[in-house]
Structure 1
Amino acid sequence: MSLNTHFAAPITTALGRKGLLVALVALILDQVSKWWILYELNLALLQQVKISPLFSFTMVWNKGVSFGLLSSDGWGRWVLVVFSLGVAVFLIDWLRKGTKPVLTYGLALVAGGAIGNAIDRIYYGAVVDFLDFSGLYFPWVFNIADAAINIGVACLFLDVFLLSRSETKDDTKHS
């Protein structure tokens, strides 16, 4: 099977189609929230809007990976874009064949979040972060894409370390 045929293949499961929808919803929520923060609330000008003692909208231009780690400018930005989009393509190809809900939705959330943050890097040169829970002693400012990626990774760990192990135990009981 050629690479073109492989990626042009239709989504093969109903769960895979639902997973693709989850990725799309994560991407849309992320981009709409960032648009609202930048162009309606004008947070880039305001810098911070306190909502409660626990939560604020705080403007952060994140040039790094998750939570500002491995900050990079110039060509490093494009390396992160290519890497993010490459990961997203791989995950979308994997999730379209989904047979396990937690795994499929986890892949979808990571893919949707990765694409959302890659779009920011392309258009702005940095990721738009604005959700600030420092009142809860959480030191990082993040966005919907970051939340989707982290929830997705948690789903992947749940599937690999808990659900897959219980399936393996069930398979040995039935053997």
Structure 2
Amino acid sequence: MSKKYLAILTILIAIILDQVIKIYIKTHFELGESVVVFDWFRIHFVENNGMAMGFEFGGTLGKLFLTFFRLLAVPVMIYWLYQNIKKKMHSGVIIAIALIIAGAIGNIIDSVFYGVIFDHSNHKVATLFSDKPYGEIFQGKVVDMFYFPFIEDAVLPDWIPFIGGEMFTFFQYIFNPADAFISIGVALLFIFSKYAFPKEEKIVKE
């Protein structure tokens, strides 16, 4: 398979998988509903205003800034991907950039469109293409669902300064497939960094 089609296929599969899972969760779970798959893995439906792992970013204006930043960043990433394809870069680098692009697009779709195609999930399951959507365009909330509390409600040792004796959970962040694709893409860039960021050979003058 050519690197061009590898990139396109990776992006399409990742975006479709991301949206299928999010739409399923949105149309089958109430907000806050949780299903235990294993003790260390749960499907837990939450929503956030657009940052990865459920972080917030400055309310409505912050959300708009983040969405438009992604809209500007995606074309830059696509251009970088195009350049790497032209250079016949290592497939690991191509897949990495494609996953980051797909993850960004996945969360952009939520932020831009979900507010006008879904109604609220509060105390009920949301309806797709509802007559009474919960928001406006660019005001959609990102759907998160993957929760891996490997260590839950543990007590930190007393000798740890400032936070000793307090309860903590590891890993406490809830994320979605798009976040996972971005994280995997970044990890792959580190793994294949010698290909992704090649050092220019020094010209030795005699």
Normalising by the residue count of structure 1, what TM-score does the alignment of the two structures yield? 0.77
1:61–1:129 contact (8 Å) kept in structure 2: yes
Instruction: Tell me which of 60, 70, 78 is aligned to 1:74.
Output: 60
Identity %: 34
Q: Which digits, 9 at most, give the CA deviation of each residue in 1:46-104, with x for residues without a partner?
A: 62111221111111212242223342332322211111122222112221341221111
* Aligned position for 1:115: 105
The alpha-carbon deviation at position 147 of structure 1 amounts to 0.4
Tell me the SS of whatever aligns to 2:9. Answer: helix
CA contact (8 A) 2:189 2:196 kept: no
Q: Which residue of 1 aligns with 2:94?
A: 104
Gap change, CA 1:96 and 1:49, over 3 Å in 2: same
Paired positions, count: 155
Which of these two proteins has the greater Rg computed from alpha carbons? Answer: 2
**Higher share of residues assigned strand:** 2
Change (3 A) 1:127 1:115: same
Instruction: List structure 1 runs of 4+ shifted beyond 3 angstroms.
Output: 162-165
1:149 aligned residue: 182
User: Gapped runs of 5+ residues in structure 1?
Assistant: 1-12
Instruction: Give the distance between the partners of 2:110 and 2:58, measured in 1 at CA.
Output: 14
Distance 2:172 2:10 in 1: 28
Q: Which amino acid aligns with 2:6?
A: K
C-alpha contact (below 8 Å) 1:110/1:152 kept by paired residues: yes
The structure with the largest helix share of the pair is 1
Equivalent of 1:35, from 8, 12, 23? 23
Provide the rounded CA distance (Å) in 2 between the counterparts of 1:15 and 1:92: 14
Q: TM-score, normalised by structure 2?
A: 0.67
CA RMSD of aligned residues (A): 2.5
The unaligned stretches of length 5 or more in structure 2 are: 116-139, 152-169
